């Protein structure tokens, strides 16, 4: 195997910070720089960082579990990171962060998607439902109850994604047999191997006919 290293695609810290530095140097700070006492005070309070941050962000209006949020986010923020890091909704899990495991599955406008591969800025005015949005007060969602009853998990890390996907699987009309459920749940990996019980849980909710 050839061992030649090719780092031409790597982003150096200099590249990543250059725009912020540019904004800092060329923005409001040029004006502030004319008044040295202000500059000292601004520097102490890290205003330069804050101004740069503000200028690098984009506005986002998004509804999560029925609550509207008006935020400013970096364009590179994924929906998953927005939920977990900015809205403190840590029920949605980061598994692989590359669209291979399904742990980050949420519903956007009623459709299940992978929040790790979705840029939050592209979900302008979207309605997002996460695992935290399923229960009604203390009453669990039928799928949550079924997962408990059928032992549809062991470590529990994939469970929020499995439950969000399981609900969508039924709503899409893809839960008509065990084989069909397995196929349409294949984007959700469970390394504890609770698949059999997960299919049991989904089958029961489907056949129970409760509103989901």
Quick check: 66 and 132 in contact, CB under 8 A? no
Q: Which residue shows structure tokens 């004319």?
A: 34
Q: What are phi and psi of 113, to 5 degrees?
A: -140, 170
8 binds another protein (CB under 8 A): yes
How many residues contact another protein, by CB under 8 A? 44
Tell me how far CA of residue 152 lies from CA of 91, 105, 182, in angstroms. 17, 17, 14
Q: Does 187 bind another protein (CB under 8 A)?
A: yes
> Which residue, 78 or 197, is less far from another protein as judged by CB?
78
CB of 138 to another protein, least distance (A): 29
69 binds another protein (CB under 8 A): no
What minimum distance in Å lies between the beta carbon of 18 and another protein?
A: 10
- 159 sits near another protein (criterion: CB under 8 A): no
7 binds another protein (CB under 8 A): yes
Span of 7-15, 83-91, 135-143, 197-205 interacting with another protein by CB under 8 A:
7-15
Q: Give the sign of the dihedral formed by CA 182, CA 183, CA 184, CA 188.
A: positive
Residue 164 Cβ, how far from another protein at the closest point, in Å? Answer: 9
Q: Report if residue 10 touches another protein, rule: CB under 8 A.
A: yes
168 contacts another protein (rule: CB under 8 A): yes
Q: Binding to another protein by residue 34, rule CB under 8 A?
A: no
Query: Angle, to 10 degrees, between the axis of helix 195-208 and the axis of helix 159-171?
Result: 40
Contact 118, 108 (CB under 8 A): yes
What torsion, rounded to 10 degrees, do the Cα atoms 113, 115, 116, 122 define?
100
Among 15, 34, 70, 138, which residue interacts with another protein (rule: CB under 8 A)? 15
Q: Does position 49 bind another protein by CB under 8 A?
A: no
Q: What's the 3-state SS for 105-164?
A: EEEECCEEEEHHHCEHHHCCCCEEECHHHCCECCECCHHHHHHHHCCCCCCCCCHHHHHH
Among 23, 32, 64, 114, binds another protein (CB under 8 A): 114
Taking alpha carbons only, the member of 170, 152, 164 closest to residue 89 is 164
- Chain positions contacting another protein, by CB under 8 A: 1-2, 4-11, 15-16, 19, 56, 58, 74-76, 78, 97-99, 102, 105, 111-114, 117-119, 121-122, 165, 168-169, 172, 174, 182-184, 186-188
């Amino acid at each position: 195997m050839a061992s030649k290293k090719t780092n031409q695609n790597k982003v150096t810290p200099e590249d990543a910070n250059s725009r912020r530095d540019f904004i800092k140097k060329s923005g409001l700070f040029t004006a502030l720089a004319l008044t040295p006492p202000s500059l000292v005070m601004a520097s102490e309070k890290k205003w330069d960082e804050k101004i740069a941050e503000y200028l690098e962000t984009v506005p986002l209006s998004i509804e999560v579990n029925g609550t509207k949020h008006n935020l400013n986010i970096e364009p590179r923020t994924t929906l998953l990171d927005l939920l977990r890091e900015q809205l403190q909704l840590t029920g949605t899990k980061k598994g692989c962060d590359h669209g291979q495991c399904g742990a980050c599955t949420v519903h956007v406008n009623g459709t299940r998607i992978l929040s790790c591969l979705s840029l939050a800025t592209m979900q302008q005015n979207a309605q997002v439902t996460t695992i935290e949005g399923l229960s009604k007060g203390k009453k669990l969602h039928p799928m949550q109850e079924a997962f408990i009853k059928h032992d549809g998990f062991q470590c529990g890390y994939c469970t929020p994604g499995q439950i969000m996907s399981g609900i969508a699987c039924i709503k899409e009309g893809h839960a008509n047999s065990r084989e069909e459920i397995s196929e349409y749940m294949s984007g959700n990996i469970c390394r504890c191997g609770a698949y059999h019980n997960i299919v049991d849980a989904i089958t029961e909710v489907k056949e129970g006919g409760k509103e989901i």
